[in-house]
Structure 1
Amino acid sequence: MIPLHKTPSAELLAKIRRYIAEHLLDVGDVIEEAQCKMQHPAPRPFEEVRERHGIARSPGVHEEPRALGVQPPCLHVGLDGILSRLKSKLDKPKETFSERLLRLISERGMTDAEAYKRAGVDRKYFSKIRNGQAPSAKVIYAFIFALRLNIDEARDLLASAGYSISPASKFDLVMEFCIMEGYDIDTVNGILYEMGMDVL
């Protein structure tokens, strides 16, 4: 049972419901938005006219080099720069979830025990996380509130375990709202309880 003093006000719950109504997307909308962000291939000039008249195209920028057996054309002047930046990013060792979590705990001046107790996680489970076991998104959210992370830190921590805040999930939108407002874990659990969602 959630303590009475942590029960959110009707005004706060109404504010959260408005936030969900404004930001919740249908799964189809999320997919459509992602597809719109993807780069579309460059249009081939006069393609329809050529096909209609049976005119073959001369090899050029818009051709498929492998099919024609010619060398690929130089695409863009800055391609080498882009590739070298991409390579340097890939070469850098990526921080694992457990490494990132332990770093954040240390940066907050907390001990591991303080952090996992605030998050409502037992010592055995925390030991598994420390040794590389990926936790559930709910456990990650519990650590986010226990450590009082800001929205950017929260997104990075979620991403390091392969998760993200989904605009198609009411639960994720409640989490996003609470992170941005800087609520503690007890307040968040009070909100979840009153909204009929599973507490952290």
Structure 2
Amino acid sequence: MPFEIIRDDITNLKTDAIVNAGNNRLKASGGVCGAIFKKAGLEKLQKECDKIGHIETSQAVITKGYDLDCKYIIHTVGPIWHGGGHDEEKLLYNTYLNCLNLAKRKRCKSIAFPLISSGNFGYPKDKALYTARCAIEDFLAENDLMIYLVVFDKNAFAISQSLFDSIKQYIDDNYLDDYRFDNSRRNAESSLLDDYFHMEVKSTLQSVSDSIENDEIKMFKKASKPVDATKAATKSKSKPKKPSIAKAILGDMINDKNLIDAVSNVEDTFSQTLLRLIDATGKSDSEIYKKANIDRRLFSKIRKNKDYNPSKSTALSLAIALELDIDETKDLLEKAGYALSHSNKFDIIVEYFIKEQNYNIFEINEALFAFDQNILKA
């Protein structure tokens, strides 16, 4: 995916470039800046920085990565927060864009940012995050680059309090604890099993459908006759292959003519449905996969293979890019063998944004990250 929020130490990343949000004199200091200088090799990095000298706020310059795992360090200076009335937002926006354009000129394929100005420079974290997202989103609309926003700990990250409170209330109103879930008593493992079984059934039915030819139904019936595993084992030294859950349940149904007729007219696959929905929007493929924050190569796989089954996260990302309502989203997910559950906070948060008709995947991911959930990614 082109943009991802991660919790890590930026000095450990193996991206083409990392961003050092330092000071105007390009001197080693405390915090993340000091850690970058130390791990890169203090004397070597400081010597190159001294040759560059002074930089202005929002300006970006580049040095070698030295002992870090990255090729380059892009040095920049974000604005100091003075209450918001001194062009701080514009300066911070330009800080990100200048770094991104410099990485592009150096033909970098990946870059990692800290949340610039949100530490000692006093920029409110939610406002710093909003400006970072706007700059990154605007850049990615015209460019391809893998961008990471690196958060060292939860205290260094925040969405707006009003959004956080609104989502929290929606979770409280909709989340089903085990003791309230009397009918199915579903936990994370059983939810995964449901998804697995759904996909197995779909895969099995599709395999049956693909095997049927008008003049070969009898042959198919004969071929699908259950085999006695004990007899088969005596004829071969190899252990009989254990059937899948779906096949085990469907085994007695395979010879049923009604089933054969049904799978002969199997519904459109996820890929076929997706492409039909894209055509209905009148938008280009690139507009959709960029809005879904997924890689062009992954989208190409989905387009070329009508039977491609994406991850649940990818399917949801594409539903959001298409701006589907909640029922349409559930229908598209079902094509890939998934469902939304109110026993899953991740699902509830995504559902909240869909019902609010907020289809900005970057903002959705910020909220998921703030609530300690996995983000939407391919």
Normalization by structure 1: what TM-score?
0.65
Match of 1:126 in 2: 299
Q: What are the Cα deviations for residues 143-181 of structure 1, in whole angstroms up to 9, with x where unaligned?
A: 111111111110100011110001110000001111111
Match of 1:187 in 2: 363
Match of 1:157 in 2: 332
Of the three residues 137, 160, 177, the one matched with 1:26 is 177
Amino acid corresponding to residue 141 of structure 1 in structure 2: L
Of the three residues 347, 364, 374, the one matched with 1:172 is 347
Identity over aligned residues, as a percent? 37
Query: d(CA) in 1 for partners of 2:337 and 2:297?
Result: 22
What's the secondary structure of 2:293's corresponding residue? coil
Match of 1:106 in 2: 279
Match of 1:4 in 2: 130
Q: What are the Cα deviations for residues 113-137 of structure 1, in whole angstroms up to 9, with x where unaligned?
A: 2211211222221122221221111
Q: Relative to 1, partners in 2 of residues 1:4 and 1:152: Cα closer, same or farther, differing over 3 Å?
A: same
Amino acid corresponding to residue 11 of structure 1 in structure 2: S
Query: d(CA) in 1 for partners of 2:160 and 2:175?
Result: 22
Query: d(CA) in 1 for partners of 2:347 and 2:275?
Result: 23
Considering Cα pairs closer than 8 Å and 6+ residues apart, tell me whether 1 or 2 has the greater RCO: 1
Query: d(CA) in 2 for partners of 1:171 and 1:149?
Result: 18
What's the secondary structure of 1:115's corresponding residue? helix
Match of 2:139 in 1: none
Query: d(CA) in 1 for partners of 2:358 and 2:369?
Result: 15
What's the secondary structure of 2:343's corresponding residue? coil
1:196 Cα deviation after fit: 2.5
Match of 1:69 in 2: none
Q: What are the Cα deviations for residues 172-192 of structure 1, in whole angstroms up to 9, with x where unaligned?
A: 000111111111212212212
Query: d(CA) in 1 for partners of 2:179 and 2:292?
Result: 34
Query: d(CA) in 1 for partners of 2:180 and 2:270?
Result: 29
Query: d(CA) in 2 for partners of 1:127 and 1:172?
Result: 26
Query: d(CA) in 2 for partners of 1:29 and 1:148?
Result: 32
How do residues 79-90 of structure 1 correspond to structure 2 at under 5 angstroms?
none
1:194 Cα deviation after fit: 2.3
Q: What are the Cα deviations for residues 26-79 of structure 1, in whole angstroms up to 9, with x where unaligned?
A: 35654x3359xxxxxxxxxxxxxxxxxxxxxxxxxxxxxxxxxxxxxxxxxxxx
Root mean square deviation, CA, Å: 2.7
Query: d(CA) in 2 for partners of 1:154 and 1:107?
Result: 15
Query: d(CA) in 1 for partners of 2:363 and 2:341?
Result: 22
- Structure 2: 5+ residue stretches without partners: 6-114, 116-128, 134-157, 186-258
Query: d(CA) in 2 for partners of 1:152 and 1:199?
Result: 22
- Structure 1: 5+ residue stretches without partners: 36-85
What's the secondary structure of 1:33's corresponding residue? coil
1:16 aligns with 2:167: yes
Query: d(CA) in 1 for partners of 2:362 and 2:329?
Result: 18
The structure where strand makes up a greater share of residues is 2
Q: Relative to 1, partners in 2 of residues 1:19 and 1:88: Cα closer, same or farther, differing over 3 Å?
A: farther
Q: Relative to 1, partners in 2 of residues 1:16 and 1:125: Cα closer, same or farther, differing over 3 Å?
A: same
Amino acid corresponding to residue 181 of structure 1 in structure 2: E
